[in-house]
Structure 1
Amino acid sequence: MSKPHAPPALSWALDGREVDLLHYVFARPDIKQLRGHPEKVLAAIDDYHHQFNKLMNVGLSKGAFITKIIAERKPSVMIELGGYVGYSAILFGDAIKKNGGKQYLSIEKNPEMAAVATQLVDLAGLRDVVRVVVGSSNEVLTELISEKKEIDSVELIFMDHWQDLYLHDLWLLEDLKVLNPGVSLLLADNVIMPGAPKYLEWVHATPQEKKHIVNNSDIGSLSPNPSFVYETAVSEFDTDFGRDGVAVTKIIGKQDV
């Protein structure tokens, strides 16, 4: 099989590599063999990543780590904040399906990214499980939890959008009362590079320390809950971009402050 050539990068909102990826995948001579096979679609995305332009995907090592967590916990619904081109939605959505889950909800603010992700998810045959929603994380979460009542408890959430938003979105989930001890698990990517220091400070802090953080922070209209007792471990990985880590946070219980 001759190696497909990536078309020239397009000039658009970012640098074009994401739409370029879509053209590359659908121009492959083995496109028919990709349809309905998540692992083959992921391999095609990896081919593009290694041969042409690097993509900000979760990667093989972190992907395997999170896939194992999905297999162990078997959540009915998993939420992703920051979908990018759909690599993690395909990888984790397939894992959700294989482990008896119902839905992988991918929230992506950029409509072009969401369009690329939707096409690749459809190619992988996962539209029955993966749902890509366009919008900012806080607005979509509020809509799905408070307005549409589609989510009453968060089982597993993967934060992979802007690191500066991690803490505020966690505060929002606390405020919306969808985090439950022994049930909810929080996964936060890129906590080493580029880093999420404020998020890590919060999930490592005691309830008393978190109360102090709230009293000295601009929380806007949010109502963070300092009473949650979190247990957090950061697993480190070598990636194509350097050393990085995923923070895994369990909710142990609550403590009056």
Structure 2
Amino acid sequence: MPPFDPRKAYAPQEEGTAFFDDGREIELLHFVYSHPNIEKIRGSPNDVLAAIDEYGRAKKYLMNVGEDKGQIVTSLIADVKPKVMVELGGYVGYSCILFGDAVRKAGGQRYYSFERNPEFAAVIMSLVDIAGLSDTVKVVVGSSDASIQRLFDSGDLKHIDLMFLDHYKPAYTTDLKLCEELGLITKGSVLAADNVVKPGNPPYLEYVRSSTKEKIAKAKEPVKNGFDERFPEKNAKQYAKRVDQEKYSTSKGNPYLVYKSKLIESFEPTGEPDGVEITRCVGEEM
């Protein structure tokens, strides 16, 4: 048998082929439940993650966080020890299981995984159950901004200690601003944003790296509906089509929050270079 090559095993489909319309996510669920070692897998987050990886190698590519970025965020969890962690964009639950397990080991109380696609959310719930993490992980179905607002209004979400952003790229900034406005992000809160190099997220990086003076000036400008022309051209066209159909938070956030932000270079499971932006809220200027 030839040596395992992650670049080939996790190579994405040809450009123009959708990741989400061929049933691979549901197929993954059948793969795990019918696995010959299913009884060993039950109750073991590590074995569930291994089964997901096995499917990705043997069957079809899955857009999972991967080992490199996973280690960055799990180390961050061990350092921050969040009581409450929020994930925006759950997909099939790989990051949810990996990080939810890390939060539980760090003494945390709740891991929220926000996923707008109800089919993907159902896959996450099933895999979380198999992994034995249902006591810690709660999957929230719906658009991220509406879900954040709903959990805040119900009193279930009062503060975010650590947030992992890995969903619709223009919503990174708009959802962060909503969390700021609601007082969910305060001194001590930490953000980890994926894919800030590939495909890139210039508006988000500009926001978390800006001074309060720059953010206050920017807050006086009209808010666009979740779209910014500074995204790479190919992605900007995709986002522009979606923004015509959907509405996103227009919160101006809290420009007085002070962030310290830095890029941690990392790699996609395909071997392509990327980065995770780690941002810490260090206070508020009055």
Q: CA RMSD in A?
A: 1.7
After superposition, where does 1:51-130 map in structure 2 within 5 Å?
A: 51-130=58-137
Deviations 1:195-230 (Å, cap 9, x if unpaired)?
111010000111121123222341575232211111
- 1:238 to 2:263 alignment: no
Greater relative contact order (Cα 8 A, min sep 6): structure 1 or 2? 2
- 1:196 to 2:201 alignment: yes
Say which SS state the counterpart of residue 163 (structure 1) adopts: coil
My pick for the range that moved more, 235-244 or 209-218, is 209-218
Query: Do 2:256 and 2:285's aligned partners in 1 also have CA atoms closer than 8 Å?
Result: yes
Q: Which residue of 1 aligns with 2:183?
A: 177
Query: Do 2:223 and 2:250's aligned partners in 1 also have CA atoms closer than 8 Å?
Result: no
Deviations 1:163-204 (Å, cap 9, x if unpaired)?
1100000110111112111x2111111111111110100001
Whole-Å Cα distance in 2 between the matches of residues 57 and 94 of structure 1?
16
Q: Give the aligned residue type for 1:160.
A: D
Say which SS state the counterpart of residue 180 (structure 1) adopts: coil
1:40 alignment partner, one of 47, 55, 76? 47
Whole-Å Cα distance in 2 between the matches of residues 218 and 190 of structure 1?
23
Q: CA deviation at 1:12?
A: 10
Q: Which residue of 2 aligns with 1:255?
A: 285
Task: Give the gaps of 5 or more residues in structure 1.
Answer: 1-10
My pick for the range that moved more, 209-218 or 237-246, is 209-218
Say which SS state the counterpart of residue 232 (structure 1) adopts: strand
Whole-Å Cα distance in 2 between the matches of residues 164 and 12 of structure 1?
19
Q: Which residue of 1 aligns with 2:253?
A: 224
Q: Which residue of 2 aligns with 1:24?
A: 31
When normalised by structure 2's length, the TM-score is 0.82
Runs of 4+ in 1 over 3 A off after TM superposition: none
Task: Give the gaps of 5 or more residues in structure 2.
Answer: 1-17, 225-248
Whole-Å Cα distance in 2 between the matches of residues 17 and 105 of structure 1?
24
When normalised by structure 1's length, the TM-score is 0.90
Say which SS state the counterpart of residue 32 (structure 1) adopts: helix
Q: How many residues align?
A: 244
